[in-house]
Amino acid sequence: MSIDKTSTAAEESSVENADAAPAAVAAVDPRLLVREQGFAGYLGEFKRKMKAGDLGSIPVVVGLLIIWAIFTSLNSNFLTAGNFSDMSVAMVGTGMIAVGIVFVLLLGEIDLSVGSVSGVAGATFAVLSVTHGMNEILALVLAILTGTAAGAIHGFVFARIGVPAFAVTLAGLLFWQGFMLQILGDNGTINLDSDGVVVKLTSYYFSDVAAAYGLAIVVTAGYFLSAFFDNRRRESVGVPSRPLNEIIVRTVLLAVLAFAVAIVFNQYKGLPLAVVIFLAFLLLTDFVLRRTAYGRKIFALGGSVEASRRAGINVELVRISVFAIAGTFAAIGGLFVASKIASANQGAGTGEFLMNVIAAAVIGGTSLFGGRGRTWDALLGVMVIISIQYGLALEGIASPVQYMITGGVLLATVVIDAVTRKTQKTAGRA
């Protein structure tokens, strides 16, 4: 008789649990409730994220707006079409290298060699195309592959032999800097053809106003279609997705920003080719990190190497490939730097250049502790650094002060990153 009572109670309990199960499942994802509450729901969700340390790109964007406001108040020429266009082109070389650094930082590692590797790439192209008369396209490809090979070597020594990435890439910094000096020879500087392929990377502008406006339309339409079909896919498998009105609002905001930038470019020389190439690489790398299995493996390694290994991820191969990617982007960035000054010289990739590259990735929002970041962080970070440099230059402030201000911004960013991680752990989100 007691057995029957026990089984009956168990059955009643299971029925109650079964009835409660749907409610429990519905409460797992609060986004549906947020959207039902309208604007008040989104405001509450924003406050919750702030308390949980989920700041995203907000501090960087706010900081960038403050920097622009300060320098515009000091000098009305700061945000003129000409200066804005020049800043946009100047940021591409550093930004390209910072994209590669984002990949390395996602692993929780560092690459100190990218500055020297970028200099080697510029020197390699100059020696092959100018000194030896090689076809410029072939020389450009070989220069980029030089960076890929250098990064793969660093990754191999780190992943297979077990030497810390800091030590490997520090040795690479010294070795590749010496290699660059060696191939440049006693003269130390090789001027590039002003009408050549590499120089036109930063000197060519699409003067037709339709180019800038067309790119703005393509970017806006691409975002809307991507978000719309992604939502359709999520809905088809029963996963919560954004409502159509939210997608439309986001698209409108992006359109306003894109067309505002297009208008500014068209007030000067037109749409810079360098900016188009940079945006293309940002879109490609963002797709790789967020939409492919390879990208998920990178984030997994940044979260926990041991857990990734137990999940069947080839840790060594991913690490080697990431450093090869960093070397490739260092070479591409080096070519843009050489393009900007129309020469390859012994000072390429030296001095504060490496620190600016790493600072750009970190300031943009990529965590130094691994596992969190986006390639778009490189864009935001390099915009902050270039804005500070150009703003201070317009005011005639010396380089030492520029270094101190950039260092202060970097320190503030790292502090925010550390505090954010602690807040997320407290909130159970890390």
**Residue 329: its pLDDT value, please?**
97
Q: Tell me the sheet residues that pair with 343.
A: 191
Which segment of 8-17, 208-217, 331-340, 369-378 scores lowest on mean pLDDT? 8-17
Q: What are phi and psi of 260, to 5 degrees?
A: -65, -45
Q: What is the predicted pLDDT for the residue at 303?
A: 85
* Mean pLDDT within 256-274: 95
Quick one: which of 66, 67, 92 has its CA closest to 387? 67
Q: Is 206 helix (H, G, I), strand (E, B) or coil?
A: strand
Between 150 and 242, whose confidence is greater?
A: 150
Residue 63 CB contacts under 8 Å (≥ 6 apart), including other chains: 384, 409
Rounded percentage of the chain residues whose pLDDT exceeds 70: 84
CA triple 111-117-118, angle to 5 deg:
110
152, 148, 159, 158: which is closest to 313 by C-alpha? 159
Q: Which residue has the higher pLDDT, 348 or 8?
A: 348
> How many CB atoms are closer than 10 A to CB 320?
21
Q: In this predicted structure, what is the pLDDT of residue 61?
A: 86
pLDDT in tens, 37-55: 555 555 565 566 656 555 6
* 61-79 average pLDDT score: 90
Q: Rounded CA gap, 357 and 385, in Å?
A: 9
Percent above pLDDT 90 for the chain: 56
Burial class (CB in 10 A: 0-12, 13-18, 19+), 306: exposed
Q: What is the pLDDT of residue 425?
A: 63
Confidence of residue 114 (pLDDT cuts 50, 70, 90): very high
What pLDDT, on a 0 to 100 scale, did the predictor assign at position 337?
Answer: 95
Q: Give the confidence band of 57 by pLDDT, cuts at 50, 70, 90.
A: confident
- Is residue 100 predicted with pLDDT exceeding 90? yes
Q: What's the pLDDT tens digit per position in 309-327?
A: 999 999 999 999 999 999 9
Mean pLDDT, the chain, rounded, equals 85
